[in-house]
Amino acid sequence: MRVSGGIGNQLFQYALGRALTLESGAPLLLDISSYIKPKPGEALRAYTLPRFNIQGEIAAHSDFGSIGVPDPADQSFIAKLKRRLIRARESDEAFHQRRIILEGAFNFIPDILNVKGNAFLAGVWQSEKYFKDHADQIRKDLVLKESLSSKALEIQKQMRESQSVAVHVRRGDQVSDPDLVKKHGLLTDEYYSSALKYMKSKLSDPRFFVFSDEIGWVKQNMGFGADAVYVSESNLPDYEELMLMASCKHQIIAKSSFSWWGAWLNQNPNKIVIAPRQRFASDSQEAKDLIPDSWIEL
């Protein structure tokens, strides 16, 4: 399994890989080359999976050659892989049997669950349907190896003692990067206003715990009540913030795989999760398999 992106994408990639190994009994090997040498102009992301109780090993260089994969550390790796697959379909059907699988669409691809034996997968795989049958085991895997810090434990105690609602406001590149704005669109104030109104109509005295990559802006420009806790002011690492998000009884998520996992890992049987209805800016793109059926889309 090729692992790439931030913590949310890493968890999706791990979850599919883990589900396939639970079905087949094959070992899970993780390609982490994207964290060693990023593409030009891209910041080096943190490989966060080892913070969790995951079951998998780092793939060795020889593992790729055995199934016909070019050097994954090459900055043009994905482009080369696509060209090789095109040539294979045109001229070498046997190569296609080497089971190199690139995600071709955002939505759930059922055939992926039939993968057996040696395979190399590259994609984001953002749907619970890939691993729903093994949800209990994956939740056991996705606990931190080490205890939360004392600061995080203080915040977690407040969450457990209140009708806590985690609110995630993602800004950063989804606001500043024109390509991402064009692709995903901006999540409006109306979404958060509607989500807060809904929570207040369903919960007695909800208390909002706010997470954001621009927490100062959020504190100045969005109103979550006088007793709101701005968790991200504590400068906790992302994996601790994720665990705190999951510790809340309910969630309001953003267009973000990070807060998606914060909601999914919440094991409150009566949780209310509110998610954006539209994942992409254009109606020509959809994400019908992203949001679990029990969540509420606004």
Q: Check which CATH number belongs to the domain holding 192 and give it.
A: 3.40.50
Q: Residues 114, 228: one domain?
A: no
Which two three-digit tokens encode residue 32? 């982490």
Q: Which domain holds residue 259?
A: 148-297
Arithmetic mean of pLDDT over the chain: 85
Q: Last residue of a domain, which of 140, 160, 184? A: 140
User: Are 93 and 187 within one domain?
Assistant: no
Residue 2 lies in a domain: no
Q: Tell me the per-residue pLDDT of 234-244, one tens digit each, with 9 for 90 and over.
A: 999 999 999 99
Per-residue burial over 212-242, b = 16 or more CB atoms within 10 Å of its CB, e = otherwise? bbbbeebbeebebeeebbbbbebebebbbbb
Do 125 and 181 lie in a common domain?
A: no
Lowest-pLDDT range of 57-66, 162-171, 284-293: 284-293
The model's confidence at residue 60, banded by pLDDT at 50, 70 and 90, is: confident
Q: Give yes or no: residues 135 and 189 share one domain.
A: no
Cβ–Cβ < 8 Å for 206, 250: yes
Token pair 């420009």 is found at: 221
Name the residue type at position 109: I
Cα dist. 56→99, 107, 145, 254, 275 in Å?
A: 19, 25, 14, 29, 31
Map residue 288 onto helix, strand or coil: coil
For 16-25, 60-69, 252-261, which range has the lowest pLDDT when averaged over its residues? 60-69
Domain boundary among 140, 166, 186: 140
H or E, element range at 158: helix 150-160
* pLDDT tens digits for range 106-154: 789 888 888 877 888 889 999 999 999 999 999 999 999 999 999 999 9
Q: Note whether 230 and 284 are same-domain residues.
A: yes
pLDDT tens digits for range 177-203:
556 545 545 677 899 999 999 999 999
State how many domains the chain has: 2
172 located within any domain: yes
| Residue 251 placed within a domain | yes
DSSP 80: H
The whole-number pLDDT of residue 131 equals: 97
* Final residue of a structural domain among 140, 158, 180: 140
